[in-house]
Amino acid sequence: MPVTLAQAQVNTQSDIDYAVYDNFRRNSWFWDHLVFDDTVTPGSTGASLTYSYVRKLTGATAAPRAINSEYIPSKATRQQVANSLIPLGGSYELDRVIAQLGPAATSEIIFQSMELQIAARIRLVRESLYGDTSVDATTFNGLSKVLTGSLTESTTLDISAATINTQALANTALDKIDLWLSNIIPSNVGGMTPGDPNGLPVGVRAICGNTRSILRLRNLFRWATLLQSGVDNFDQPVMSYNGWTLVDLGNNADNASPIIPTTANVTEFYAICFGMDSFHMASAAGVPLMRDLPPRFDLPGAVKLGELEIGPIAPVLKSVQACGVYRSVTV
């Protein structure tokens, strides 16, 4: 059954795992709205974890016809896709003497575990956008590669402060953004768990960028008097436009550069619709979605290993019209 982190969090068996889920949800709007289809099982040899599905490429067409004439044939197109699930995480080594120093709340174990959670959380977001199996065989293809050449890929937009300095110019830029978003179709089913307060509602969607680009978008929508405010699942303020939540994906784990890069004032936006018929994750059946494995200092040995593992998982795009990318955006 498809599950969100909120639903998986309810069924955790330990306080440590519960805290990990809570940390991922509180610190990432993206993670909090992902739904995981936990249906994948290994093949008969136990050697593969593959999520196979059909991706819709284009829809059919309909038109009136004259009497005594035939309809012009058209065909919806789709593509068979098979994603290999991969585990994602990391590890750290810790000496038992250092592990026992200081208060428990600020111990080296807590510090290392929290930093590993941050790195894993960020890495999945980055791979979901920019993963490329031709560059790294251990990852999966992200949205940037999948959406190249699609109907929902647009290019060239200037929303810099030097350009957008009147409401009329803001409305002109907004026309281009609306045209881009009009090609993107939100989910009709959400997480397929209607009535569950922890499930994913129908129609959840976001425009994702970096800190600078999202600030420019907010300014653009403010110029057009169309910026809306609300709160997320943890009562934190969020801004939106016409149902699209504006999401700052933040920086890479080194905190030195954004996940979505800006080069010479040029960046890009991703529009993502979340749901089982749109963009979601695939995960293994009968396996915990995330596991925090702290060092076992009750066993012999001075230096012990701590680990965090997510998955195995893989992103799934059921329809190319469920997501879009706007490239060459000047901010």
- Asked, for residue 311, whether it belongs to a domain, the answer is yes
pLDDT digits (tens, 9 = 90+) for 138-147: 898 999 999 9
- Asked, for residue 68, whether it belongs to a domain, the answer is no
- Asked, for residue 71, whether it belongs to a domain, the answer is no
Per-residue confidence (pLDDT) for residue 289, from 0 to 100: 86
Per-residue confidence (pLDDT) for residue 293, from 0 to 100: 86
Per-residue confidence (pLDDT) for residue 325, from 0 to 100: 97
- Asked, for residue 250, whether it belongs to a domain, the answer is yes
Tell me how far apart the alpha carbons of residues 289 and 269 are, in angstroms, rounded to a whole number. 28
> Count of CB atoms within 10 A of residue 53's CB?
15
Tell me how far apart the alpha carbons of residues 170 and 321 are, in angstroms, rounded to a whole number. 26
- Asked, for residue 65, whether it belongs to a domain, the answer is no
Give the residues of the chain that fall short of pLDDT 70.
1, 11, 13-16, 42-48, 104-106
- Asked, for residue 134, whether it belongs to a domain, the answer is yes
The count of domains in the chain is: 1
Per-residue confidence (pLDDT) for residue 46, from 0 to 100: 52
- Asked, for residue 66, whether it belongs to a domain, the answer is no
Q: Give the residue numbers spanning the domain of 192.
A: 2-59+79-330
pLDDT digits (tens, 9 = 90+) for 177-230: 999 999 999 999 998 888 888 888 999 999 999 999 999 999 999 888 889 999
User: What separation, in Å, do the N-terminal and C-terminal C-alpha atoms of the chain show?
Assistant: 41
CA torsion sign for 11, 15, 17, 20 is positive
SS (HEC) of the chain: CEEEHHHHHHCCCCHHHHHHHHHHHHCCHHHHCCEEEEEECCCCCCCCCEEEEEEEEECCCCCCCCCCCCCCCCCCEEEEEEEECEEEEEEEEEEHHHHCCCCHHHCHHHHHHHHHHHHHHHHHHHHHHHCCCCCCCCCCCCHHHHCCCCCCEEEEEECCCCCCCCHHHHHHHHHHHHHHHHCCCCCCCCCCCCCCCCCCCCCCEEEEECHHHHHHHHHHHHHCCCCEEEECCCCCEEEEECCEEEEECCECCCCCCECCCCECCEEEEEEEEECCCCEEEEEECCCCCEEEECCCCCCCCCEEEEEEEEEEEEEEECEHHHEEEEEEEEC
- Asked, for residue 83, whether it belongs to a domain, the answer is yes
